[in-house]
Amino acid sequence: MTPNVRTFRAADSNAALAAVKAALGSEAVILATRSVDGGLFRRSEVEITAALGPIEEDLPRARPRPRTGAAALAAHAAANPELRLPEPLASGAGASRSAPPSTRPPDEDPLTAEVRYLRRSVEEARHALAAVTREARAGRDMQLPPAAAEVHARLTGRGVESALAEGLVRSALDSAGADPVGILRVVRDLLGERLVPCRAPWLHDGRHVIAVVGPTGVGKTTTLAKMAARAILEAKKRVAFVTLDTYRVGATEQLARYGEIMGAPVLVARDRGELTRAMERVADADLVLVDTAGRSSPEDVTRQAALVRTISRVQLHLVVSAATGAHELAAVADRYRALQPDRLVVTKVDEAAGPGGILSASVRICRPISCVADGQRVPEDLHALTGPQLVELVAGADEPA
């Protein structure tokens, strides 16, 4: 007879056991217990899997194991990847390092493997056909020679705006001739003049104040958390957060959670007076990071930037998402250009089908790129790239055959 297997969750083990007894009676058999982390806004719970009836031999029986502090932290990090910190910050000096359990996947069904192979082949063929089409269109519509059309197709395939790609290729034609490798080499040099790196924002000497602005959803708060963690780990700086984002639901709580993990104070400012007092309270911090809300209307953007600019010697970083595409990046850059941002931060490179679209923002803002984010891990997925690395991000690593 198949046992009646059910799962119960409660705030603690006593409440969970009471729920098991109420539902299945005193004859219930406990099969498994585990702690379920609640994430940012919910408390953790205890989960118990129990059964009523005969238990087959192949039904898994869990053996309760004591949860060490390191294990609890690992479980919390797994449930909250956006809050994951590197080992020096996330674990204590005495944390044990046990080998991870084997996670070898079960043997894959041959039909599933064949379908996956066919899908990959179709996708590769689709990309190859798109590249040929772009190259043919560049040669026909723009009257580019074959070598230049090949490089133009390469750039647009990586997300560069067609007009920008054409301008780069035509400038390179004058000195490189009909050699596609030579054209691409010159194009890389031209890109190097337009993609200017700068020192990592978490490595500045002395007191430093950084404020981020940008559209909603580009990852401003997470980027600030990454900067803070890097400053604490790599430069041993004292960090403080100030947030002006009182519009977005949960924004303050999210930043407060980061601050709690890092031991950094988090202050909220709703107007100029509160902002002034907040800056006075964090005067002893080496790095002050100011978060803002993503606003859509030009009036709100201007008003928010004017408030941020009241901070003495603040450095304004415009945060843009590489995943939005070249035309959207161009529109964002045009919208925020009047604020005269000091630096450009690029996020969500890992989600971008064509990361070359960041060129659209760079040429319109004309400011150095301070860092690039390519994931949600804090702070591993934040990098201060060199000039050649930025060029490779836009144009790709390998040269055409």
Output the domain CATH number for residue 215: 3.40.50.300
Measure CA of the first residue to CA of the last residue in the chain; give whole Å. Answer: 66
> Nearest Cα to 64, choosing from 88, 92, 31, 95?
31
Q: Read off the amino acid at residue 283.
A: A
Cis peptide before 81 (omega within 30 of 0): no
Which two three-digit tokens encode residue 194? Answer: 């337009």
For 109-155, the pLDDT digits (tens) are 666 776 767 776 766 565 555 555 554 454 445 668 888 888 999 99
Q: Tell me, yes or no, whether 99 lies in a domain.
A: no
Give residue 73's domain range.
4-79
Say which residues have a Cβ less than 8 Å from residue 231's Cβ, sequence separation at least 6.
202, 203, 237, 239, 286, 287
pLDDT on residue 34: 79
Helix (H) / strand (E) element for 121: namely: helix 110-141
Comparison of pLDDT for 290 and 27, the residue scoring more: 290
Q: Tell me, yes or no, whether 390 lies in a domain.
A: no
Which two three-digit tokens encode residue 52? Answer: 């009523």
Answer whether residue 284 shows pLDDT above 90: yes
Give the Cα separation of 359 and 194 in Å (integer).
8
Q: Tell me, yes or no, whether 375 lies in a domain.
A: yes
pLDDT on residue 10: 83
Helix (H) / strand (E) element for 193: namely: helix 180-194
Give the Cα separation of 380 and 389 in Å (integer).
17
Whether residues 40 and 177 fall in one domain = no
Burial label, 6 (beta-carbon count in 10 A; 0-12, 13-18, 19+): middle
Q: Which of 194, 225, 245 is the last residue of a domain?
A: 194
pLDDT on residue 398: 66
Give the Cα separation of 320 and 338 in Å (integer).
15
Residue 76 near residue 23, CB atoms below 8 Å: no
Number of CB atoms found within 10 A of residue 232's CB: 22
Whether residues 232 and 374 fall in one domain = yes
Give the Cα separation of 393 and 386 in Å (integer).
11
Q: Tell me, yes or no, whether 380 lies in a domain.
A: yes
Say which residues have a Cβ less than 8 Å from residue 157's Cβ, sequence separation at least 6.
127, 130, 131, 134, 354
pLDDT on residue 369: 96
Give the Cα separation of 239 and 228 in Å (integer).
6
The CA-atom distances, in angstroms, between 382 and each of 116, 213, 217, 400 are: 32, 17, 17, 29
Question: pTM of the predicted model, to two decimals?
Answer: 0.65
Whether residues 224 and 165 fall in one domain = no
Which two three-digit tokens encode residue 150? Answer: 């090949």
Answer whether residue 162 shows pLDDT above 70: yes
The DSSP 8-state label assigned to residue 227 in this structure reads H
Percent of the chain with pLDDT over 90: 42
- What is the DSSP annotation of 1-37? ---EEEEEEESSHHHHHHHHHHHH-TT-EEEEEEEE-
Burial label, 310 (beta-carbon count in 10 A; 0-12, 13-18, 19+): exposed
Give the Cα separation of 155 and 161 in Å (integer).
8
Length of the chain: 401
φ/ψ of residue 287, rounded to 5: -135, 120
- Crossing angle between the packed helical segments 110-141 and 146-157, to the nearest 10 degrees: 130
Give the Cα separation of 41 and 340 in Å (integer).
36
- What's the domain count of the chain? 3
Q: Which of 63, 79, 95 is the last residue of a domain?
A: 79
Q: Tell me, yes or no, whether 272 lies in a domain.
A: yes
Whether residues 234 and 185 fall in one domain = no
Answer whether residue 342 shows pLDDT above 70: yes
For 19-40, the pLDDT digits (tens) are 888 888 877 777 777 777 655 4
Whether residues 272 and 358 fall in one domain = yes
Which two three-digit tokens encode residue 391? Answer: 């060029």
Whether residues 205 and 190 fall in one domain = no
Whether residues 302 and 345 fall in one domain = yes
Whether residues 363 and 229 fall in one domain = yes
**Average pLDDT over every residue of 192-215:** 92
pLDDT tier at 346 (50, 70, 90 boundaries)?
A: very high
Comparison of pLDDT for 251 and 236, the residue scoring more: 236
Number of CB atoms found within 10 A of residue 285's CB: 21
Q: Which of 173, 194, 215 is the last residue of a domain?
A: 194
Give the position of tokens 């030009």.
298
Which two three-digit tokens encode residue 30? Answer: 């406990």
- Candidate from 3-17, 31-45, 235-249, 253-267 with smallest mean pLDDT: 31-45
Whether residues 272 and 356 fall in one domain = yes
Whether residues 356 and 274 fall in one domain = yes
Which two three-digit tokens encode residue 184? Answer: 């691409």
pLDDT tier at 390 (50, 70, 90 boundaries)?
A: very high
- Crossing angle between the packed helical segments 387-395 and 180-194, to the nearest 10 degrees: 130
pLDDT tier at 248 (50, 70, 90 boundaries)?
A: low
